[in-house]
Structure 1
Amino acid sequence: MTKTPSAQPSAEERSARIAVTLFPLLILAGGVLAVLTPNAFTGLAPLINPLLGVIMFGMGLTLTPPDLALVVRRPIPVVIGVLAQFAIMPLLGWLVSALLGLPPALAAGVILVGCCPGGTASNVVSYLARGDVALSVAMTSVSTLLAPLLTPVLALWLAGRYMPVDAGSMAGSILQIVLVPVLLGLAVRFFLPGLVNRCLPALPWVSVAAITVVVVAVVSGSAGIILSAGLLVLAAVILHNGLGYALGYGAARLFHLPVAARRTTAIEVGMQNSGLAAGLARQYLTPESALPGAIFSVWHNVSGAALAAYWRRRDAPTSAVQPSQRAR
């Protein structure tokens, strides 16, 4: 997604910043409309997986060799972030579900959100938070590439306590929805860099439109459970997301990473590919299980933008100080 920031943001960066700011409003409007008129959107369900593939293809288009080379040049912070991603969020999903006493379908959905890789919007939020954007891109890429293996295994282990999980079929779907589109995007970027560079400013808006349709499709199929348990699911999502930020930052601080890398790790851990979680839940669990992923898609963008704004304001009094010396 967004690359290392400069004094004058590129067209891609400006477009991504606007998209991530407006995204929660668009998706919230779509969700409300789906709750009020669910029958109008029931035909969208078959589009969920293809649209997720479009989002992942777009992610592949934004990646460049230097993004992936960072894994070799700076493996320790990448490994710390990815391990934190797949250790903290799945266990937090299980813990929050147990603490709130969620029904099995909703608990499995919350846990599945935690088992998914980092969200693509995290790169933009890291940029807004003055984090380490190159590290953010590397963490998102590695966690996404590992998802076909780790997401089904973790879901089977934790969500499988609440309802049956077909881990093998789920792995196959993640390969089709995530890995193949990302690799195709990388190939197109490699062979047609000029064309891709001209398209980059539009990619955030394509992702916003696609995830909005995914959420509308999920919400329209879960309108009843939203009216009866929506506040409970929202509480679970807020706890899951907020604790993910805190523990992600704490893990990076424990290993003495620089402040910019701590912010990035917090964002990468707290922000999930919740659209993928919603799609997998609808396909392999129940429509109700997809609800936490849909709500997470809205909330983590709101909270991520707020967290980025807080860190930027905190930096203001010490703007003359180097990033590594800023207050923790």
Structure 2
Amino acid sequence: MSSLSGTPTTASAGEERSARIAVTLFPLLILAGGAVALAAPAAFTGLTSWINPLLGIIMFGMGLTLTPPDFAVIAKRPIPVVIGVVAQYAIMPFLGWLISVALGLPPALAAGVILVGCCPGGTASNVVSYLAKGDVALSVAMTTVSTLLAPLLTPVLALWLAGQYMPVDAGSMAWSIVQIVLFPVLLGLVVRVFLPRLVNKALPALPWISVTAITFVVVAVVSVSANAIFSAGLLVLAAVILHNGLGYALGYTAARLFRLPIPARRTTAVEVGMQNSGLAAGLARTYLTPESALPGAIFSVWHNVSGALLAAYWRRRSTPAVRDGEQVPAAVTE
């Protein structure tokens, strides 16, 4: 399950093919949108007012895909969920700060990198976990919990870490996250409960609605950050690659330290490394500066590319299956 993929825990060959297409096309479409915005930034600056509504649409789509069994996983297996969510909010914010210090990023860019780290897990993480032969039910639970905690944890962490570089209005940011994230997700849940047949008919279209919305968010952010991209694009790209890659590695390490099964380790790595960078870009554009939104825009492209590559690598390695939350004996040790 994912607001981007609609991939269920148990998938058919057709669903797997659809998921592969999604993971391949999403970064390409986002990359194309960013390139167009760079080529003609003036044509798209008017889209900036649509960033938050588009993010709300994405979160509404996430709410539509959630079902009672997704929440049952949290009750049945709380320890892996807690490990993943704690790793998410402990590792990525501090990684963002460390990378900003190590690379000597300017204040606006440093704040943007840190804000990416303070956001919840990315909406594409569920399909990447599925393709990586991870624990998809656990991935959905981790994404859900980290998203629901975002109104509290994202502003507090941003104030603490990004506030060292520029002023952060944590109260207003928290209210924005409630409006952009919490309300749409809850509305999606309500619609799913009361209009299940209608939602089931709409599910195949949700991936494309979500990716279209994300693409427009990236176009809007890039269009007002074109000058910053040309002057500091490589530096930001280096920060993003380090942030994302170390997130995967440390997320996997955390799960391994707690002796989680291999599918759960892969899922934890993906959940920690992939961020809701579209949300970060929108918040940075609203509460920081246009330049601060640049790391989120670049992260939106890169983590989809890296996630697809990581999933392809793990799929080639034999791994234990997960059935009803229980691991079948492993054929490989990681």
Please state which band the TM-score falls in when normalised by the shorter chain: over 0.9
| 1:108 partnered with 2:111 | yes
CA offset at residue 69 of structure 1? Answer: 1.1
Paired residue for 2:10, among 2, 5, 14?
5
SS in 2 for 1:314: coil
Match of 2:316 in 1: 313
Amino acid aligned to 1:142: V
Deviation string, structure 1 residues 6-41 (Cα, Å, up to 9, x no partner): 34444xx65443222101111111111111100000
Q: What's the Cα RMSD here? A: 1.5
CA offset at residue 3 of structure 1? Answer: 1.9
Match of 2:333 in 1: 327
Q: For 1:226 and 1:152, how far apart are their aligned partners in 2?
A: 26
Report if the CA contact (8 A) 2:59-2:185 is conserved: yes
SS in 1 for 2:318: helix
- Flag the 1:207–1:187 CA change in 2: closer, same or farther, 3 A: same
Structure 2: state its 5+ residue gaps. 322-326
| TM-score, normalised via structure 1 length | 0.96
Match of 1:183 in 2: 186
Deviation string, structure 1 residues 44-66 (Cα, Å, up to 9, x no partner): 00000000000000000000000
Paired residue for 1:208, among 205, 211, 226?
211
* Matched ranges for 1:217-236 at <5 A: 217-236=220-239
| 1:288 partnered with 2:291 | yes
Q: For 1:257 and 1:232, how far apart are their aligned partners in 2?
A: 35
Report if the CA contact (8 A) 1:63-1:186 is conserved: yes
* Matched ranges for 1:151-300 at <5 A: 151-300=154-303
CA offset at residue 294 of structure 1? Answer: 0.2
Report if the CA contact (8 A) 1:135-1:264 is conserved: yes
- Flag the 1:6–1:26 CA change in 2: closer, same or farther, 3 A: closer
| TM-score, normalised via structure 2 length | 0.94
The number of residue pairs the alignment matches comes to: 324
Deviation string, structure 1 residues 290-322 (Cα, Å, up to 9, x no partner): 000000000000000000000111228x99x95
Report if the CA contact (8 A) 1:122-1:271 is conserved: yes
Amino acid aligned to 1:245: Y
Report if the CA contact (8 A) 1:16-1:204 is conserved: no
* Matched ranges for 1:47-62 at <5 A: 47-62=50-65
* Matched ranges for 1:90-105 at <5 A: 90-105=93-108
SS in 1 for 2:316: helix
- Flag the 1:183–1:308 CA change in 2: closer, same or farther, 3 A: same
Report if the CA contact (8 A) 2:132-2:311 is conserved: yes
| 1:42 partnered with 2:45 | yes
Q: For 2:194 and 2:148, how far apart are their aligned partners in 1?
A: 21
Q: For 1:274 and 1:323, how far apart are their aligned partners in 2?
A: 36
Amino acid aligned to 2:333: A
Report if the CA contact (8 A) 1:91-1:114 is conserved: yes
More helix by share: 1
- Aligned-pair identity (%): 80
Deviation string, structure 1 residues 210-240 (Cα, Å, up to 9, x no partner): 0000000000000001000000000000000
Structure 1: state its 5+ residue gaps. none
Amino acid aligned to 2:62: M
Deviation string, structure 1 residues 61-120 (Cα, Å, up to 9, x no partner): 000000011101000000000000000000000000000000000000000000000011
Report if the CA contact (8 A) 1:38-1:220 is conserved: yes
